[in-house]
A and B are shown apart, each in its own frame.
Chain A
């Protein structure tokens, strides 16, 4: 089958039981997305599929032929960081770094949801759409666990990156 990841087509032969996450980690050498629970409980494996964030451990690779998949490697690399990666670095939005790719990809996906006007549990009035308050960020990022507990710095990083991304948009 073929998977289009970070703009590149990959030809691969996988078991029908192989998750999208394991296809990347075990078959394509894309190990940036992490496996923390394999049950969609921690968010460390978050990827963007057609722009929408998903837990890649909860979906099978064979379901994604033709999809546009973005992993942490597709956002930026050490020499050319995405504004979200840059902000995580400067705000110390991580410690051990294991949940970090998932947090960053999730944050990028989340900003897209907010700009599309999707409400959340923390949205005061769904008619008005959502603004990017700290409460909104916390609510929308709660699917991404961080046991080192970098949460306060992650929230600050997302605010900084969001402002920067708006500037350059």
Chain B
């Protein structure tokens, strides 16, 4: 077993030596040609040409009810209908990330449009039609569909992504004694991942063996969730997710489609294809919970933060302990001796809340980075300077060192590049015709984590390498960076290295989530490559360290031997495993960044246009400059959505998610996005992983919406504390002299 436990910071590696010259380079995506030509098969696109059946979900017709009976007779009588699956074991929604199993319906409707049956038919059209013929008889129960009127009733749970409470010192006492007290409450709405590929599964039974092609991020736990949901041993299930049309957290746990398709296939005696409709995706998978966040900051009169509290209230449905961890970065981002971060879950009868891109930072920093801006304004201090004044020299919660932290360098680099010095110093003071112009900035941070992960490298007699792991690529660039890591470590041209992902028959992997994928799966490839090099060295009778590898040759002294010669007709297969270790506890690890935004707010209508957006990030070694930059664009654009557009609306009377499609749930489109600027600083974090890299996928969404909101304040003088900052909220604050502007 070739294993590396991250107990010590990593020294110089072959990646640092960069002999092959491919690590970090912005090469094109490994699977890119397949994707641009429509040849990459996503979950639905398997079993082409086989005789399959099609599934369609019957959604529960009310928000909360006990189901008396489900009449399937009319649907079953429809020609072409093969089965109607009902029962207590039907999934309520998606499964929580890394949970052993999803929750089941058990004779009740827990949220509006929860699946209550699955129709399986010869064709999609028949299944869809017959789904309307299933009659649900139910007894309605009064539901709880909003949290505003039930503030203070939340529970502290131990099933969240972080501890519900984090405390240090005595915040209340310190706050009462503070020379300057800041106390504001911010609200963020519910959000949806809205990945472009709906949650989709194709299930096929061969005797008692089940094969499922599904759109999933974390295969190792997903396959267990499927086995539990179907009621078979996990050894009987193989799960494949070679291509995933976006996840953003919503596919960390299996969607209801995976179990439904498997149950349907068993009952119909035929493979079943089930793609959730876009409406199903909005109503029966998972969402990010709305938050009410109270931020209290105590400071000295010259602007030094002395204490920091961030208290979040957020919903989840019955039996769910997950909470949106909005306070995750407040634990360590700024100085202050006395600290308090809490989360309370208010039980609601709306769709389950779960992880969406950057759980915690994505919502929490909308609040805290606005708060920092408000405080800086109150002190009359440049927001850049205010952050510099409150930079901690170590983790202020746990007193451990930061593994690496370039927050101030990001802020300073960004200020210079953006022209921050040229910002309007007084809100509402810069105008171009009918447009009010403002600048805003915010910090970004995203907690870093390393997970256990394994990968195999197979070297074939021709000297080619194949990387095999049950890791996934959800668009993040995993195929490409694993190819680059293997090629750099082994000294091979990229086109000599293949990558196989997304199959539970391959070595188990961390999967994609929490920005840990590249570091974790990448490190397992690093470990496997080291083992291949050991084997090469053994065969050549030299020390591994004495070998230089380049262009498929091992160079030792004055010898240069092609890999095919070392392999001598053999195939070598080695598995490498990375495990987190002491460095995770001995250091605080996070990626950092800074955002700068320029907005134009229409003085008459309140329409906000983002004119410029710059993100400077530092996330350790960047494995592929091009795909990393694309990830940052994605984060920035999500930030535009969170600042100005996205708002999943729940009808407080009946729990219906009202805007349950892509026409009504507004995500940014081409026209909303200007030319963006991303700068990635050079950094190595030797505590984080053998790659010396940190997570990047979620960094750029952290805080960017606040930078835009701060720019809107700078443009208009209006401070909106309820996201998104839409025209209706801005209109009352716009200048009176609109006529003069025209």
Contacts and interface: CB of A to CB of B under 8 A. Distances in A.
A113 interface: no
A148 B246 contact: yes
Contacts of A44: 196
A90 interface: yes
A97 B670 contact: no
B669 interface: yes
Most B Cβ at <10 Å: residue of A71, A81, A90, A138: A138
A96 B196 contact: yes
Contacts of A139: 670-671
B176 interface: no
B36 A89 contact: yes
A41 B39 contact: no
B557 interface: no
A97 B40 contact: yes
B275 interface: yes
Interface string A131-153: 00010011101111111111111
B662 A154 contact: no
A85 B673 contact: no
Nearest to B357: A147
A51 interface: no
B45 interface: yes
Nearest to B635: A149
B39 A149 contact: no
Contacts of B41: 31
Contacts of B633: 149-153
Contact of B196 (A72, A77, A141, A146): A146
Interface string A82-113: 00011011101011111111001000000000
A125 interface: no
B198 A35 contact: yes
A26 B127 CA distance: 14
Interface size class of A (residues with CB under 8 A): 35 or more
A43 to B, nearest CB: 10
Contacts of B195: 96, 98, 147
Contact of A95 (B194, B475, B638): B475
Contacts of B631: 95
A38 B276 CA distance: 11
B661 interface: yes
A49 B667 CA distance: 28
Interface stretch (B26-34, B165-173, B542-550): B26-34
B42 interface: yes
Interface string B201-231: 0000000000000000000000000000000
Chain A interface mostly helix, strand, loop or mixed? loop
Contacts of A151: 633, 637, 668-670, 673
B124 A73 contact: no
Contacts of B26: 92
B244 A138 contact: no
B278 A32 contact: no
Contact of A152 (B39, B129, B243, B673): B673
B48 A98 contact: no
Interface string A26-48: 10010111111111011010000
A36 B197 contact: yes
A152 B38 CA distance: 21
Contact of A92 (B28, B54, B194): B28
Nearest to B33: A78
A59 to B, nearest CB: 15
A97 B478 CA distance: 13
Interface in B618-676: 626-627, 629-631, 633-634, 636-638, 661-663, 667-671, 673, 675-676
Contacts of A17: 125, 129
Given A76-B37, A92-B29, A97 B671 contact: no
Contacts of B193: 147
Given A25-B44, A35-B275, A149-B633, A78 B39 contact: yes
B47 to A, nearest CB: 11
Contact of B248 (A33, A86, A99, A147): A147
Interface string A43-72: 010000000000000000000000000011
Contacts of B669: 142-143, 145, 151
B433 interface: no
A77 B671 contact: no
Most B Cβ at <10 Å: residue of A73, A97, A142, A149: A149
Interface string B462-501: 0000000000001111000000000000000000000000
Interface string B666-703: 01111101011000000000000000000000000000
Interface in B242-293: 243-248, 275, 277-278
B541 interface: no
Interface in B16-60: 26, 28-29, 31-42, 44-45, 48-49, 54
B123 interface: yes
Contact of B661 (A29, A39, A72): A39
A31 B197 contact: no
B49 A29 contact: yes
A138 B671 contact: yes
A38 B278 contact: yes
Contacts of B44: 25, 31, 35
A87 to B, nearest CB: 9
A100 B35 contact: yes
Contact of B477 (A95, A134, A149): A95
Contact of A145 (B29, B477, B636, B662): B662
Contacts of A147: 193-196, 246, 248, 667
A96 B670 contact: no
A153 B32 CA distance: 14
Contacts of A37: 278, 661-662
B197 A85 contact: no
30 contacts: A15-B123, A22-B125, A25-B45, A31-B48, A34-B42, A36-B197, A41-B278, A73-B38, A78-B39, A89-B28, A92-B630, A94-B32, A94-B35, A95-B475, A98-B196, A98-B246, A101-B37, A138-B670, A138-B673, A142-B669, A145-B196, A145-B667, A147-B193, A147-B196, A148-B196, A148-B475, A149-B636, A151-B637, A151-B670, A153-B630
Interface of A: 15, 17-18, 22, 25-26, 29, 31-39, 41-42, 44, 71-73, 75-78, 81, 85-86, 88-90, 92, 94-101, 104, 134, 137-139, 141-155
Given A37-B662, A44-B196, 15 more contacts: A31-B41, A31-B42, A71-B38, A73-B39, A78-B39, A88-B36, A90-B28, A92-B630, A98-B195, A99-B196, A137-B670, A138-B670, A145-B662, A147-B194, A151-B633
